[in-house]
Amino acid sequence: MSRNATPPLHVGVLFGDPRLPYPYRPEGRLTEEDFEDIRRLREALEPLDGFRFSYYDDHLRLYEDLREAAPDLVLNLCDTGYRNVVRHDTLVAALLEILEIPFTGAGSFAMGLSTDKSMVRSLAMGIGIPVPNETFVDLTADPLILPELYPALIKPNAADGSVGITRDCVVHNDVEALAYLERLRDELDRPQALIQDFLAGTEYTVGLIGNPGDFTVLPPLEIDYSHLDPGLPPILSYGSKADPESPYWQQLEFRRADIDDATYAQLVDNSVRLFQRLGCRDYARFDFRASVDGVPRLLDANYNPTWSWNGKMALMASWAGYDYSTLWRMILEATARRCGLLD
């Protein structure tokens, strides 16, 4: 697609605020890993012809800065949430909607909907997508609901970035289950949890770029737990995403999934249908894990998946022959076409 005859689109890129605390990280702030991700991202964006970029990371001035010189569209990479509060990521989208600035990824309604994991499961089940057996738990109730079968997985109903997913969330008896539910009750802002069957099969991720009628499907990814300490449950824990000292960070690997055509078609079809049902936009990632019957069941829907240079989306894109810069061109062009900024 040539844009030589028209001025480049002005893209505002939104990041977390390095001036503010960041409670999601164990260090309580943005780390060198975060700054390296930003450096690599900027390096990937700058060569893209047809676009020019401005960068925004001062959340105290975000409204004023965007209102005074609104870009043509925003690349919303503020997964830290507004003022670095992760649960406030919907507020960034809402702010852009108030200012009527087009932006990449899900809108505020879709983000809020997708954050409620029980609701996502219900929507998926309603359109025939396989899901784990699940029980919703009100953590303020007395007595607390306990699993009927073990092992079971206990996780927050509304949390991002694997918050609340630790080595202890896979429980094997009532004592362990009660202890973890009480722990979540003390830690969570929204005292809601889910009890699920623990799925012990292969775990897959499917990445989509585009919008309904014009999707690029990236080669599916498989989580490789073979090097993980056998004393740890094979899960994508909070430590795998936020703590470089965690064995989950150090010992897990990602590899291209080796799957048969029927399973591939099922994963892609389920991902596309869920993308549409949840109102995702431009790009998304969907996680599945096989149960004892071999059927991949939905684990999670990621409306604005991790954007780092070494994350899953970038890795899957590389298997399809797209470098990091090309990945962002594809996402930006998908957004621009959706918003009528490109033909």
Please give the pLDDT value at position 4.
52
Q: Is 80 exposed, middle or buried (0-12, 13-18, 19+ CB in 10 A)?
A: buried
Beta bridge partners, 215, equal 210
- Give me the helices (H) in 253-323, please: 261-278, 312-319
Give the pLDDT confidence of 217-254 residue by residue, as tens digits. Answer: 999 999 999 999 999 999 999 999 888 899 999 999 99
Please give the pLDDT value at position 343.
83
Please give the pLDDT value at position 2.
44
Q: Which residues of the chain have pLDDT under 70?
A: 1-5
Q: Distance between CA 112 and CA 114 in Å, rounded?
A: 6
Q: For residue 71, what are the contacts with CB-CB under 8 A and spacing of at least 6? A: 10, 11, 12, 54, 101
Give the pLDDT confidence of 143-164 residue by residue, as tens digits. Answer: 999 999 999 999 999 987 888 8
Q: Looking at the domain covering 9-104, what would its CATH class be?
A: alpha beta
Q: Looking at the domain covering 112-130+199-321, what would its CATH class be?
A: alpha beta
Q: Which of 335, 187, 214 is nearest to 272 (CA)?
A: 214
Please give the pLDDT value at position 5.
63
- Give me the helices (H) in 148-296, please: 174-187, 239-242, 247-251, 261-278
Q: How many CB atoms lie within 10 A of CB 117?
A: 23
Q: Distance between CA 20 and CA 277 in Å, rounded?
A: 35
